[in-house]
Amino acid sequence: MTMDRSPLSSTTESFDEEREWALETRAVRCGIQRSAFNEHSEALYLTSSYVFEDAQQAADRFTNREPGMIYSRFTNPTVTAFQDRLAALEGGEVCLATASGMSAILTTLMGLLKAGDHVVASQSLFGSSIQLLTGVLARFGVTTTFVSLSDGSAWQQAIRPETRLFFVETPANPTMELADLTCLSEIAHAHGLLLVVDNCFCTPILQRPLEWGADLVVHSATKYLDGQGRVLGGAIVGSRTLVMDSPIYQFLRTAGPTMSPFNAWVCLKGMETLAIRMEAQCARALEMAEWLERQSSVVRVLYPGLPSHPQHALAMAQQGGSGGAVVTFEVAGGQAAAWRVIDGLHMISVTGNLGDTKSTLTHPATTTHGRLTDEARQAAGITPGMLRLSVGLEALTDLQCDMARGLLTPP
Ligand SMILES: Cc1ncc(COP(=O)(O)O)c(C=O)c1O
């Protein structure tokens, strides 16, 4: 595929002359712009700025009269390659990369909101997203109403004249509750609001929220896009009008929560194996969920791939027939029992990250959601006995052996 286009502009070209490429092909082929050396693998451009031919060209670049690289806070060829590839996978017109998942959410909200505006958000969100809305944006006059992710009427009722957008994560971290994206996008659009979806848990391999009516997708590339726990990154995907020709891009350009070229390169190469990693990790997650359901010390397993999940049918339709690669479960005996499981492990990593090829186990109540008030934690559905298992690529027998060791640790 030739890539004769402005390095400033992301595109979703993901087809040859006859037909559209499948997701697996997009993940390895989209976003490539070869340099004069015609390298096969994507180049890493570690440069903070670019040389102009003369003063006129510098002026034209800075004022957007001429496309081209300017300064790596907002233009870098490796970052552009990452953006193009992710846009092609999500089916969005453009993508804007950011330093982390949280900076993708911050950039989106700073771009779309102003003092006096109101957001309706899911009660079940990653802890820092709740903190961002209540602890940071609230200081700048933005208010948020949190409602149940799965109760469509609650979203409708929470809308006020000053509401600008709905913000959801589906499945939610760590409760694995789902949003019905068609339902929420219809409510949002009927009131002239935007639907913003954090697609970190599913990735575009399982779920493409824009196809279900979402206006913007945000990502923590730190998770499955990198996939090997190496770097932080984030992204915003949507229409050119909403993302690039808008205050969202202006915020990134001006304030600089930018993805580094090195991190973009790592995530770009990580995306090449995204489809096969997701397939393998989701298959193991389903088997781990079924196994956990059979353990006597486990009182509840929250995994959308299980028929026991209240939104199993929605998951199968919206997430391409998969429950994802994260399994949340609850042990009897509250926090002490949950900590015993963690402390009994020998192999599975005790860490806050997820989406890695190495399986990880997290106690959300005291880590990812530890900064929330007890009330907010309860509203987010986090219980003291809850554990979040992000299933990696180890053999199932080793995962089950290690988890059994944790579950059988005596008090
Ligand atoms: C659903 C979700 N969104 C956003 C984030 C934030 O991403 P980052 O850590 O890259 O800032 C996380 C991190 O765990 C997450 O789980």
Give per-10-residue mean pLDDT for the chain (411 aa). Answer: 38 67 95 93 97 97 95 97 97 98 98 98 94 97 96 96 98 96 98 98 98 98 98 98 97 98 98 98 98 97 98 98 98 96 97 96 94 87 96 98 93 85
- In short, whether 234's Cβ falls inside 6 Å of ligand 1 is yes
Instruction: Give Cβ neighbours of residue 50 (< 8 Å, ≥ 6 apart).
Output: 68, 69, 70, 71, 75
Alpha-carbon distance values, 123 to 168, 241, 290 (Å): 9, 29, 27
Write down the residue that tokens 């005291």 correspond to. Answer: 366
Contact 267, 233 (CB under 8 A): yes
**200 CA closest ligand 1 atom index:** 1
Tokens of 16: 């040859």
Convert the pLDDT of each residue in 18-50 to its tens digit: 789 999 999 999 999 899 999 999 999 999 999
- Type of residue found at 35: S
**172 CA closest ligand 1 atom index:** 1
pLDDT of residue 349: 97
Q: Which of 86, 100, 222, 351 to mutate to test the pocket of ligand 1 (most atoms within 8 A of CB)?
A: 222
| Distance, CA of 288 to CA of 298 (rounded, Å) | 12
| Distance, CA of 93 to CA of 236 (rounded, Å) | 11
- In short, whether 127's Cβ falls inside 6 Å of ligand 1 is no
pLDDT of residue 5: 37
- Count CA atoms within 13 Å of residue 190 on its CB side: 9
How, if at all, do strands 386-390 and 360-362 pair?
A: antiparallel
- In short, whether 198's Cβ falls inside 6 Å of ligand 1 is yes
pLDDT of residue 4: 34
Contact 278, 204 (CB under 8 A): no
Q: Which of 105, 130, 173, 199 to mutate to test the pocket of ligand 1 (most atoms within 8 A of CB)?
A: 173
Distance 391 CA to ligand 1 centre (A): 17
pLDDT of residue 89: 97
Q: Which of 199, 200, 230, 260 to mutate to test the pocket of ligand 1 (most atoms within 8 A of CB)?
A: 200
| Distance, CA of 385 to CA of 241 (rounded, Å) | 45
**221 CA closest ligand 1 atom index:** 10
Q: Which of 105, 125, 128, 224 to mutate to test the pocket of ligand 1 (most atoms within 8 A of CB)?
A: 128
Residue nearest to atom 9 of ligand 1 (CA): 101
pLDDT of residue 11: 46
- In short, whether 12's Cβ falls inside 6 Å of ligand 1 is no
pLDDT of residue 160: 98
This prediction's pTM:
0.95
**104 CA closest ligand 1 atom index:** 11
- In short, whether 107's Cβ falls inside 6 Å of ligand 1 is no
- In short, whether 170's Cβ falls inside 6 Å of ligand 1 is no
pLDDT of residue 409: 87
Distance 374 CA to ligand 1 centre (A): 21
Ordered by where they begin, the domains of the chain are 23-271 (3.40.640.10), 275-407 (3.90.1150.10)
| Distance, CA of 391 to CA of 354 (rounded, Å) | 8
Tokens of 260: 């580094």
Residue nearest to atom 6 of ligand 1 (CA): 101
pLDDT of residue 405: 93
pLDDT of residue 392: 98
Distance 101 CA to ligand 1 centre (A): 5
Tell me the Cα Rg of the chain: 21
Contact 155, 118 (CB under 8 A): no
Tokens of 375: 């009330």
Q: Which residues pair with 169 in a beta bridge?
A: 198
Secondary structure of the chain in HEC code, one letter for each residue:
CCCCCCCCCCCCCCECCCCECCHHHHHHHCCCCCCCCCCCCCCCCCCCECCCCCHHHHHHHHCCCCCCCCECCCCCHHHHHHHHHHHHHHCCCEEEEECCHHHHHHHHHHHHCCCCCEEEEECCCCHHHHHHHHHHHHHHCCEEEEECCCCHHHHHHHCCCCEEEEEEECCCCCCCCCCCHHHHHHHHHHCCCEEEEECCCCHHHHCCHHHHCCCEEEEECCCCCCCCCCCCCEEEEECHHHHCCCHHHHHHHHHCCCCCHHHHHHHHHHHCCHHHHHHHHHHHHHHHHHHHHCCCCEEEEECCCCCCCCCHHHHHHHCCCCCCCEEEEEECCHHHHHHHHHHHCCCCEECCCCCCCCCEEECHHHCCCCCCCHHHHHHCCCCCCEEEEECCCCCHHHHHHHHHHHHCCCC
